[in-house]
Chain A
Amino acid sequence: MAKSTSGLSRKRMHEMYRTMLRIRRFEETADDMYMAGKVVGGVHVSIGQEACSAGVCAALREDDAVLTTHRGHGHSIAKGTRLPEMLAELMGKVTGLCRSKGGSMHIADVSKGHYGAHSIVGANMPMAAGIGLAYQLEGKDRVAVVFFGDGASNNGAFHEAMNLCAIWKLPVVFFCENNQYAVSVPAEYSTSVDDISVRSKGYDAPGLTVDGMDVAAVYEASREAVAHARRGLGPSLVEAKTYRFFGHSRGDPHYGMYRTKEEWEGWKAKDPLIVCEKMLKMTAKDKKAHADAVEAEIREAIEFAESSPEPEESVALEDIFA
C-alpha cells in the first residue's frame, strides 16, 4: 500500500488539512441538524474518509470535473462547492443547490465542475466516461474524477465504464474509497480481490492502492493518475483504504451491528486529521487558526440556510424539461 513520500510543501499540506477540517465540521453540523429535525431526507456522512476528498481534489484544476455518490459531501466541498447553498439544500430551502428537490444524495455545483452526487450505486461511472469523452472530443486536457465505494466496484457499471475509458483512452480517474463495507456487507465477503485496484489489470490500466487516512499519500497517487489522464493515456484506478467512523446512514450505529468496537477503535486511531496534524507537527496555535476560520465559515452557512425561505409550491413543477 502506497504511503506518502513527504515531498510535499507545507503550504499544500495546510491547505489539504483545512479542506479536511471544513468537511469534518460541515458533516458534524449536518448531523446535528439532522438530529434537531432540520434536515429534509437522509444524510450519509463521510467522517473518517476526508483525506480522500481533500487529497484527490488538491490534484485537480478548477475546470476538471468530479462525480460522486450518496456519500458525497466531502468531494463536493473539496471541489469548491458552496457551503451555504449546500447546507440550504440539506435543510430543504429553495436557495439550496438543487432547489430542495435533490437533497443530500444529489448535491451538485456544476459551476464548480461538480456534476453531482448520484444515489443509484454505480450510475456515476459511465457518466464520468461520457464527460471524459466530451473533453476528449473538444480536444481539451480536462479530466473527470469519479468517486465510488468498494460496494460499487462490484456493479457492472464500474466494469463497463472502465473498459470504455480504456479502449477510448478517456481522461477519467476512478477513485475507489474502500471503507470496507457496503451498508452491512463486508468487502472481504462481496469482493473477489483483496485490493480492488488490481481490477485495473483487466482493463490494462494503471492501478494503485493507497493509505486513505494519509492525505499526502492520496494526493501523490491522484496527481499521478490525473497527469496520466491529462496526457491522453486513459483511465487509472486508485483505491484508498479507509473507514467511515459513522454508520452507513442515520440510525445505523457506529459499531456493534456488523463492525466490532475493536475494529472501529483501530481505525479511529488513524483519524486523517490527526495523522495530518502529526505530519505537520502542528502547534495549538496552528490548529486554532484553522478551527477559527472554519467555524466562521460554518456559522455563515448555518445563518444563510436557516434564514433562507422554503420553496413555493410551483417549484415542484419546474425543471422537468429544458
Chain B
Amino acid sequence: MPEVKMRTISYSTAINEALHEEMERDEKVFLMGEDVALSAISPATAGLGDRFGHERVRNTPISELGFTGAAVGAAMAGYRPVLDMRRIDFMMLAIDPIANQAAKLRYMLGGQVSVPLVIRAPEGGYSQNGPTHSQCLEAWFIQVPGLRVIVPSDPADVKGLLKSAIREDNPVLFVEYRSLYSLEGPVPEGDHTEPIGKAAVKKEGADITLIGIGSQARSCLEAAELLAGEGVDAEVVDPRTINPLDVEGLAASVRKTGKCVVAEEGHKSGGVGAEIAASVQEAAFGSLKAPIVRVAALDVPVPVHTKLEAIVLPSTEKIVAAAKKLLA
C-alpha cells in the first residue's frame, strides 16, 4: 500500500475540506442554510460561497421547515443538497420533512425515488447557551427507519464520513459536535473517505471498554489516559455511525474486556447509550462480568450557568468515576 501522508487540521477545517472536495467532484451537490454564504460566519463553510457562487452556496430565510422540505424535493429530483442547520435545536422545526418525508419516501413509493440528502446538524453544550441551544438529539432519530445517523468524533472521521454521506443515496443526519470544532488531529491527505456503519477502536486496551458517542468519544480517550495513570488499561471504541450501528464491532471489544461504560452527551433516558447497552448485551451477554453502565446528560434541560451546566452534562471525570466503580 502506498504510504498515506498525514497532516494535522481541526475538526471544522476537516468539514470545510470535505464540502469543498465534494462540491468540486459533483456539480449536483449544493449547500443551503442560514448565513452559509458569508465566509466569516462559520469556519466549516468559509470560502465555499466565493469558490462555488451563491447558486450552489445558498442563503435561506429563517424557514427551516420550508428549506428542508425543498431539499427533500431537490434530492428526489436528482440533486444532492447538503443542509447546514447551524444547531440541531433549530432543526426541530423541520422534523416533518426529515422523519415523515425524507426517511420514508423511498419505501412508501415502492422504491421509485431516492433521497440523497445530508443534513449537517451541529449540536451540543459546554458553552453556556442554555436549554434551547445546547441539546444533543441524535437519539430521537435512531427511531426513524430510513435515516442514516452519523456521529463523528475527530477530524479524520468527520472528513471521511461527511464525504461518504454526500455520496450516499439515502438521507443522512450528520451530527457535528460544536465542542469539537477546534479539536486538532491527523487527517490523511487526498480523497479520504470512511465507511458508514463501521465502529473504530480509538485506543486498544484489555481491562474495560469505554464506548463514546461524538463529544464523549473524546472524553473517553481522556478518561482512558487518566485511568492508565492508575494502572487501568481501557479500550476506547467509537461507533461513529448509530444508524446503522456496528453492534459486532462494539461487542467484539466487550467480549475481550467483559466490562463496559457507554458515554453520550444526550440525555440518559431513551438515549443512544440505552440502545447500545441493549444491543451489546444481546450480542455479548455471556462475556459481561458486570452490567453495562451509562454516562449521559441528566434528564434535565441544559442550564446556562457554567456550574449548573457541568452538573447536568457528562464529563471525563464522570466517565472515570463510572469506570472505577465498575472495576472496584
Contact = CB atoms under 8 A, between A and B. Distances in A.
Nearest to A120: B132
A121 B133 CA distance: 12
Interface string B38-71: 1011000000000000000001111111100000
B73 interface: no
B311 interface: yes
B186 interface: no
B62 A155 contact: yes
Interface in A133-153: 151-152
B90 interface: yes
A184 B63 CA distance: 15
Contacts of B37: 184
B186 to A, nearest CB: 30
Contacts of B298: 316-317
B63 A100 contact: no
Given A119-B133, A184-B38, 10 more contacts: A40-B304, A41-B129, A100-B308, A102-B304, A155-B64, A184-B41, A190-B59, A310-B307, A311-B307, A316-B308
Interface residues of A, number: 36
B132 to A, nearest CB: 5
A122 B306 contact: no
Given A106-B130, A313-B311, A154 B303 contact: no
Contacts of A184: 35, 37-38, 41
Interface residues of B, number: 35
Interface of A: 40-42, 92, 100-103, 105-106, 119-122, 151-152, 154-157, 182-185, 189-191, 257-258, 310-311, 313, 315-317, 320
8 contacts: A41-B304, A101-B130, A101-B304, A120-B90, A156-B66, A190-B60, A191-B61, A317-B311
Interface in B289-317: 298, 300-301, 303-308, 311-312
> Chain B at the A interface: mostly helix, strand, loop or mixed?
loop
A105 B130 CA distance: 9
A189 B37 CA distance: 12
A119 B130 contact: yes
Contacts of B129: 41-42, 103
A317 B92 CA distance: 24
Given A41-B129, A106-B130, A100 B59 contact: no
A257 to B, nearest CB: 5
A142 B308 CA distance: 37
B303 A100 contact: yes
Given A119-B132, A183-B35, A316-B303, A155 B63 contact: yes
A184 B46 CA distance: 14
Contacts of B64: 155
The 10 residue pairs across chains A and B that have the minimum distance between CB atoms: A154-B61, A103-B304, A101-B303, A316-B308, A190-B61, A100-B305, A41-B128, A184-B38, A316-B311, A41-B304
Interface of B: 34-35, 37-38, 40-41, 59-66, 89-90, 92-93, 128-133, 298, 300-301, 303-308, 311-312
Contacts of B131: 101-102, 106
B311 A154 contact: no
B112 to A, nearest CB: 28
B307 A154 contact: no
B63 A156 contact: yes
A183 B34 contact: yes
A167 B236 CA distance: 58
Contacts of A119: 130, 132-133
Contacts of B128: 40-42, 103
Contact of B62 (A41, A103, A154): A154
Nearest to B40: A257
A103 B130 CA distance: 7
B306 A320 contact: no
Nearest to B133: A119
A311 B59 contact: no
Contacts of B304: 40-41, 92, 100-103
A316 B312 contact: yes
Most buried by B among A103, A313, A320: A103
A257 B34 CA distance: 16
B312 A185 contact: no
B153 to A, nearest CB: 25
Contacts of B34: 182-183, 185
Contacts of B300: 316-317, 320
Given A311-B308, A313-B311, A320-B300, A122 B132 contact: no
A156 B305 contact: no
B59 A189 contact: yes
Contacts of B132: 105, 119-120
B311 A185 contact: no
A152 B130 contact: no
A151 B133 contact: no
A168 B132 CA distance: 30
A182 B59 CA distance: 11
Contact of B308 (A101, A154, A157, A258): A101
Most buried by A among B34, B60, B65: B34
Contacts of B307: 310-311, 313
B285 to A, nearest CB: 34
A120 B89 contact: yes
Contact of A151 (B38, B61, B311): B61
A101 to B, nearest CB: 4
